[in-house]
Structure 1
């Protein structure tokens, strides 16, 4: 950032052809994005297994006039409004959901790629504001959008969105400070708020990096006090914008986190997600470790092949999480002109250099002593388990540095190389090549590493030749030709090295079950069966277990009430009661609990778990099953479908209530002796007595079942309790005959309400904002209370 209150000199349009540079960047973006935009391949893994079903649920709810704040379709009910990955507060996805009731994969992929394009455009404008060469802007933009984790981890949608917002915020914040602009300050705050709404580690690091750059800009100004005074109002405007956008969603997530399955991560746990130093070689040699190919080819840390040779690492990283490649040209310039010749220490760029170094220290995690200091000093770090996620922000910062160094070369202002510097540069490049060869030889994977090494050498020759030619064009005044030449070079480089791979692109048909119009036979069967067994008091649940990675959230797409799902964030009470984990792609990932030791259990029946679809015979998942416990009703191409004939209705009317210790029941897995949920409800508090007299039969039925509202009608001659076998959460409220009533936590996990004698209309309503307001009040009251 430039000195606050001092705008860069205006850039004559003849020197900075903005529209033409935009066109160059867009054409390169289109070429690199085309495999996904064409529909030939789609962004796989989490992008489809987790995020696309979230988008489809959001679109379905909005187009049916329903609220998307709660979903009954995963984990027997989940508060979407507080889930940072639900996409509710993501403008590009929310707009898609509003206007398209059945978004295709190309829509969701396009939103991600468009966000990266927006970030790339922001960097172009940042370079223009500083009058840096257009060729440098092109290099920075393409390296940002298609380098490092932006390319290799594009399936992590939330983090990619945060990365795009980071670049846009950097531009707006720079303009706000340089021009003392309240409007730019407010805009920067709004976009920063959208970044923070991702509530992921990329957003957290982005906030710290931006704050650090602001502090550096003020401290490095010729007159720091004057710069500080000029910055106050824009920064206040930015704070206001961020508060308006992000406060409520963050508070919703913060209070949900207190009752979720996600504890804080300790230093040792976080260290298991560190970037191994050997992964830095991928900055020059893309796919050195075989991350793009079949999983058995991967030999980098922490693969079995690596650990067999060098010993256990105790790291938990996927194969694509250590890839740093931005294109050979920017990395070459960073190593040579930037580090060896010292250009990265220049006043106008040193703040970005320091930020990149600190982010690298963070990414390396336990391999540097600095991470411990960061972990203990910076709030929020302990919520995240993977320091290697910092490669998103590191890639953005290195892209800016690479673009800046390109600017120096194009304008002939780069430091000239002395002989010793040339020797050091050659030693670094040869040393990296030699180390890569030695590692591949030692691990026994020369065959896998040969193509990446040869490709790196070819890209080095291509990049060096293009750089020399572009410099010649630039010095002769052919600015656009130089920019276009480097754009073409990077496009070829990135398409070869960071293009579609098993980590980032798979055939669209692999995910057919996640299409809203899918004709998958298993899904069709489950829809028919749940429709067949539906009744006034019954809405049966299904379970999808051990079929494939992308199956657990298919219920969000097809509106099937599922007892499981795929989400790293779940209600802690539900996880403890049922054993539900993050996902259930493999048979052994379906774990049970003391209270639900298997499918032949009272809790399974109370959940109304009627149909179970599995990828293997169900006895391989639940080894406690005995013949006849479940009835196999179909064998499809995907697996096996079973029926649990003991599943209870969704709503029950009972007259008897007993007080119970829910904590003890959860811990022991033992219900009170003789407990029958069809006649009795267990409550946390002593229940009121009913009018005397003999028991009389009554009934209850479902009138309307929405996402955030459930309407029932009960006929209770003596009064009693209506039990709704949906997951209890204190943000739900209940009304009886239009008047507020007390929401009861029933039978450990469910909701209930007392009803008077006669006919009653009951309405359960999910009101998260009222619940949040009450939670904040209770928290403030607890803070004011004297210590005991």
Structure 2
């Protein structure tokens, strides 16, 4: 934000730099206290952080240390374009660096990087306060509330979104500094960090981009206060803004283009309004701004009674996890917002007004379908790529943290006085906020359950009131006041937003995700896969209904799972197989018409040789018949079966038959053919039906992005690779480009002439993307 008429000249700063460095040091110390249970106490960030993001990191690290690029993975969903996946961490600088330095990153390292990014964001906001000569005590309030408050604390398992918020705080500081100093260097740095924010390609990044644009425009308009016209202000900032735009666009253009291409080919190309509205934030969630654990968010799931729990609130139509409805920032920020912001009018001060406007915007967005405003907001370009307006609680928390810190600055600086009437209203507003929590607990019949959280809330409200009341008496002791703020914020957030079932579970619960982990179920699968290995085989497994975090274990353990855990999947694969985003519980193991049971040509073509299920297979497969699968083991977690009909990864078909793949996907009807001899093609050559002598094929090398196969046949035919087809895969026969065919609905094939040939399948996403953009890629 540009300096206003009331900003002091740089040489007349009220607060020396040492005060901000003390604030930064105290914030870092508080961060150590807050994060200790994760980094040193045997706990780890659970749910998506481990079930989804940690396996992505292990695949990235293994690929880099094996000398391979992590462009494509064969380990999940029959093959998946990692380079396009916004959650693969490939374009995340801190995690890419961790993968580069460590072949097997630990849980502590994974969590440590995420917390370090939040600390970096908090430090950036302290420096932003320094740039504006705002009180270091206010800077501390903002840093703590940003890093360890609201969604950054309660939804820390959503790694990509937390990273986006951390980069946003850094980009915001650099952007405002660039505009204050009209500096192309800081403009370029702002563009770079904003680009790092965007490459996580989530809704939080999308919203934060709009906020950065808002802040840039607002700042340029404000600079008119220095006797400039808007045109002059814009012209003088052209170098800084241009540097930021150029660097930012250069940083994001490739990742964004890759992800847009994946989205167009995925199971969720766009989200319609009703689906998005189902991810709205329930208005009752704002009770947690007053009392963090009012609804029992930190306890057992069975004890949670907040929205959208249907037995308490009725049918809401919402699809949100309980921790998505917690926005607690701390008692000091709450009282600052209520008393200093609303009652004394500090929310509308010129210096902070743009953050207030942004907070209102993010509130309306988060509430989604609960306000008519969301229909207009959902019409913004790009909104229909995202399914959960409640994600706006991330930037909302940041806006409220900054506003609260600014209000503490005004109080501690003596520039926000109150009269007797206002002081009475302040006490009344704080008491009313507490009584509202008491009333909702009573109204919903949960007063007894809410009593302990309410007692804790009352205690911290009193502590916060005392500390805020000390602001003026301690005006001549700023270092003491800074220390008091640091201690209070650390204690408050450590107790109210500290480790709980949503954010911290024992690390040992997730050991199956550690590369090379010893586990009875994994051991049996590894042994069986090794025993079945052959020149033409690379068998797949299925792991279903075992536990939430098992879906992507194959990424960590480096074997091929035909399912996985990911909200994004290739559409043709999902339609043909019925694969959904997760297989944590029995009802999530869905069968499609073309994959109607375990005794299916699709299961055989996928090479699903071994199947581990958390319940007996017949409870998953309603068409199951005795003999369909052969039981081969039983562990504490799983029933383990063999599918003796599983086909090799490579086949040599001597003839082709025409088939309508779309019709097959809808009807579920397979032609009666022997897939060891016949391949289904949508447009087979005229000679494809001729009878030919058999051929053979064997895998020479199999990597992420390249599969080399030797094939021999006396009369030619079709080499079939039972990996998922994608237009960015190319094929070469004896070093010459050949036509890649889509075979057997979702797999790859190439026609070969008679003789011995070396076939090379290569994944080339960048040339493939260019061809797709030019309309030259096969669909």
TM-score (norm 2): 0.97
Deviates more, 1:704-713 or 1:508-517: 508-517
Q: Is the 8 A contact 1:690 1:718 kept in 2?
A: no
Q: Give, in whole Å, the separation in 2 of the partners of 1:680 and 1:580.
A: 26
Instruction: Note the C-alpha offset of 1:726.
Output: 0.3
Deviations 1:146-177 (A, max 9, x none): 00000000000000000001100101111111
* SS of the residue 2:279 aligns to: coil
Instruction: Note the C-alpha offset of 1:470.
Output: 4.7
Instruction: Note the C-alpha offset of 1:447.
Output: 1.9
- The aligned residue for residue 172 of structure 1 is 174
Q: Is the 8 A contact 2:339 2:430 kept in 1?
A: no
Q: Is the 8 A contact 2:681 2:741 kept in 1?
A: yes
Q: Give, in whole Å, the separation in 2 of the partners of 1:214 and 1:69.
A: 36
- The aligned residue for residue 432 of structure 2 is 431
Instruction: Note the C-alpha offset of 1:380.
Output: 1.1
- The aligned residue for residue 760 of structure 2 is 763
Given the alignment of the two structures, is residue 743 of structure 1 paired with residue 745 of structure 2, yes or no? no
Q: Is the 8 A contact 1:260 1:569 kept in 2?
A: yes
Q: Give, in whole Å, the separation in 2 of the partners of 1:755 and 1:254.
A: 34
- The aligned residue for residue 722 of structure 1 is 719
Given the alignment of the two structures, is residue 702 of structure 1 paired with residue 699 of structure 2, yes or no? yes
Instruction: Note the C-alpha offset of 1:448.
Output: 1.7
Q: How does 1:301-340 map to 2 (within 5 A)?
A: 301-307=307-313, 311-340=314-343
Q: Give, in whole Å, the separation in 2 of the partners of 1:348 and 1:225.
A: 21
Q: Give, in whole Å, the separation in 1 of the partners of 2:304 and 2:426.
A: 29
Given the alignment of the two structures, is residue 490 of structure 1 paired with residue 496 of structure 2, yes or no? no
Q: How does 1:270-281 map to 2 (within 5 A)?
A: 270-281=276-287
1:297 to 298, 303, 328: 303
Deviations 1:22-47 (A, max 9, x none): 21111011111111111520000000
Give 5+ residue unaligned stretches, structure 1: 783-788
Q: Give, in whole Å, the separation in 1 of the partners of 2:98 and 2:152.
A: 22
Q: Is the 8 A contact 2:411 2:471 kept in 1?
A: no
Deviations 1:388-441 (A, max 9, x none): 11110011111111111111111111132341x233333322222222222212
Given the alignment of the two structures, is residue 531 of structure 1 paired with residue 533 of structure 2, yes or no? no
Instruction: Note the C-alpha offset of 1:324.
Output: 1.1
Q: Is the 8 A contact 2:136 2:409 kept in 1?
A: yes
Q: Is the 8 A contact 2:15 2:135 kept in 1?
A: no
Instruction: Note the C-alpha offset of 1:467.
Output: 2.5
Structure 1 pair 156/610, CA: closer, same or farther in 2 (3 Å)? Answer: same
Instruction: Note the C-alpha offset of 1:455.
Output: 0.5
Q: How does 1:513-592 map to 2 (within 5 A)?
A: 513-592=512-591
- The aligned residue for residue 633 of structure 2 is 634
Q: Is the 8 A contact 2:15 2:133 kept in 1?
A: no
Q: Is the 8 A contact 2:544 2:586 kept in 1?
A: yes
- The aligned residue for residue 666 of structure 1 is 665
- The aligned residue for residue 10 of structure 2 is 10
Q: Is the 8 A contact 2:191 2:247 kept in 1?
A: yes
Instruction: Note the C-alpha offset of 1:349.
Output: 0.9
- The aligned residue for residue 507 of structure 1 is 506
2:58 to 56, 59, 67: 56
Structure 1 pair 232/34, CA: closer, same or farther in 2 (3 Å)? Answer: same
- The aligned residue for residue 113 of structure 2 is 111
- The aligned residue for residue 468 of structure 1 is 469
Instruction: Note the C-alpha offset of 1:695.
Output: 2.9
Q: Give, in whole Å, the separation in 2 of the partners of 1:431 and 1:24.
A: 33
Structure 1 pair 778/458, CA: closer, same or farther in 2 (3 Å)? Answer: same
Instruction: Note the C-alpha offset of 1:14.
Output: 6.8
Q: Is the 8 A contact 1:252 1:772 kept in 2?
A: yes
Q: How does 1:678-697 map to 2 (within 5 A)?
A: 678-689=676-687, 695-697=692-694
Q: Give, in whole Å, the separation in 2 of the partners of 1:27 and 1:417.
A: 37
* SS of the residue 2:652 aligns to: strand
Instruction: Note the C-alpha offset of 1:691.
Output: 11
Q: Give, in whole Å, the separation in 1 of the partners of 2:640 and 2:440.
A: 48
1:259 to 255, 265, 268: 265
Instruction: Note the C-alpha offset of 1:270.
Output: 1.3
Q: Give, in whole Å, the separation in 2 of the partners of 1:247 and 1:424.
A: 51
* SS of the residue 1:638 aligns to: coil
Instruction: Note the C-alpha offset of 1:656.
Output: 0.3
* SS of the residue 1:550 aligns to: helix
- The aligned residue for residue 774 of structure 2 is 777
Deviations 1:48-84 (A, max 9, x none): 0000000001001110111211000000100000000
* SS of the residue 1:762 aligns to: strand
Instruction: Note the C-alpha offset of 1:263.
Output: 3.3
Deviations 1:219-243 (A, max 9, x none): 2332222211122221111111111
Matched residue count: 773
- The aligned residue for residue 785 of structure 1 is none
* SS of the residue 1:577 aligns to: helix
Deviations 1:611-638 (A, max 9, x none): 0000011111112111111011000111
Give RMSD over aligned pairs.
1.9
Given the alignment of the two structures, is residue 123 of structure 1 paired with residue 125 of structure 2, yes or no? yes
* SS of the residue 1:682 aligns to: strand
Deviations 1:555-588 (A, max 9, x none): 0000110010000001011100100001000011
- The aligned residue for residue 28 of structure 2 is 26
Q: Give, in whole Å, the separation in 2 of the partners of 1:516 and 1:5.
A: 59
2:45 to 38, 43, 54: 43
Q: Is the 8 A contact 2:652 2:694 kept in 1?
A: no
Deviations 1:572-609 (A, max 9, x none): 11100100001000011000101000111011001000
Deviates more, 1:9-18 or 1:142-151: 9-18
Given the alignment of the two structures, is residue 68 of structure 1 paired with residue 67 of structure 2, yes or no? no
Q: Give, in whole Å, the separation in 2 of the partners of 1:175 and 1:779.
A: 45
Instruction: Note the C-alpha offset of 1:5.
Output: 13
Q: Give, in whole Å, the separation in 2 of the partners of 1:462 and 1:284.
A: 14
Instruction: Note the C-alpha offset of 1:297.
Output: 1.1
1:100 to 99, 102, 123: 102
- The aligned residue for residue 239 of structure 1 is 245
Q: Is the 8 A contact 2:768 2:777 kept in 1?
A: no
- The aligned residue for residue 460 of structure 2 is 459
- The aligned residue for residue 644 of structure 1 is 643
Instruction: Note the C-alpha offset of 1:466.
Output: 2.3
Q: Is the 8 A contact 1:4 1:217 kept in 2?
A: no
Deviates more, 1:77-86 or 1:27-36: 27-36
* SS of the residue 1:317 aligns to: coil
Give 5+ residue unaligned stretches, structure 2: none
Instruction: Note the C-alpha offset of 1:445.
Output: 1.1
* SS of the residue 1:675 aligns to: coil
Q: Give, in whole Å, the separation in 2 of the partners of 1:425 and 1:6.
A: 26
